[in-house]
Amino acid sequence: MRRPSGLFVYTFSMKKLLFSFALLLLLQQLSAQTMQAQHTAAPNKLLPVLWHQHAAEYRALCYQAFNLAELRLASIKVKKHKRPLAIITDIDETALDNSYSEAQSIKTNAEYNPANWKNWTSKAAATPLPGAVAFFQKAKQMGFHVFYISNRDTSEVSATLKNLQTYQFPDATAEHLLFLSNESSKETRRQKVAEQYDIVMLLGDNLNDFAKVFEKKSIADRFAETDAVQAEWGKKFIVLPNAIYGEWENALIQYKRGLNNAQKDSAYKAQLKGY
């Protein structure tokens, strides 16, 4: 068998080398594009997080919600009720501010994931929403029992209690914390409270904090259900502002799971209402 000449071997190797180099460049480019696609969601959170942390309007909205809630409670005659009265509150972005966790994700270009979230809550470092502690303490003084219904995991109870106790939230005991165990819906936990108490007020930043009827609904149906109980907003239902995240985001993508950030971005943009 004839051996290839030295020139042939050299040319062949050069071709191979160039091909490998081109392939490497292509792979690098693809990987960069994938990385970019994975992180396109982060800029979407930038302004909402800054609004949450730096807009005085956000603070004013929190004060407005708690001031109104206090007025509503003042109009209830506690002693005339046969059963004890309760108010139910969500925790995240209703009692405690977790925008630090979101800000850290943007700063480090990290995606939200349960491990990052747990790392944050384990620090018990969330701060109260403006006006929250004063409101809940006042409610307690007025004779209302406070229940914290949160979709934080049951493994996060002790760190959350520590966080709430640090700021002297009332009823910050394990008996008053109903965390996520086997279902994300809060309905069963609300019913559990209702077995012994009359629930006179619910506070939350997400429609799912108020009633089952809002769960897993399309955007149009969320609007319709919100309109159907128009008189309850600012009365029995007290809403806190949260532009950073919420069920409304899932409604925008029809509750589809597994979409990458680029796919989410295009779904979001497709729903912009221009003129």
Binding footprint of Mg ion on the chain (CB under 5 A)? 90, 92-93, 205
Minimum distance from residue 188 beta carbon to Mg ion (Å): 18
DSSP strand pairing (145-153 vs 127-128)? unpaired
Minimum distance from residue 88 beta carbon to Mg ion (Å): 12
Residue nearer to Mg ion on the CB measure, 90 or 156: 90
Residue nearer to Mg ion on the CB measure, 97 or 171: 97
Contact 251, 206 (CB under 8 A): no
Residue whose Cβ sits closest to Mg ion:
92
Contact 95, 136 (CB under 8 A): yes
CA gap 198, 88 in Å, rounded: 10
* Exposed / middle / buried, residue 98 (Cβ in 10 Å: 0-12, 13-18, 19+): buried
Minimum distance from residue 112 beta carbon to Mg ion (Å): 14
Contact 107, 219 (CB under 8 A): no
Minimum distance from residue 167 beta carbon to Mg ion (Å): 17
Residue nearer to Mg ion on the CB measure, 93 or 156: 93
Minimum distance from residue 126 beta carbon to Mg ion (Å): 11
CA gap 1, 91 in Å, rounded: 80
Residue nearer to Mg ion on the CB measure, 144 or 148: 148
H or E element in which residue 178 lies:
strand 177-180
Residue nearer to Mg ion on the CB measure, 94 or 197: 94
Minimum distance from residue 90 beta carbon to Mg ion (Å): 4
Residue nearer to Mg ion on the CB measure, 92 or 171: 92
- What Rg, from alpha-carbon coordinates, does the chain have? 26
- Smallest Cα–Cα separation from 85: which of 157, 152, 147, 178? 147
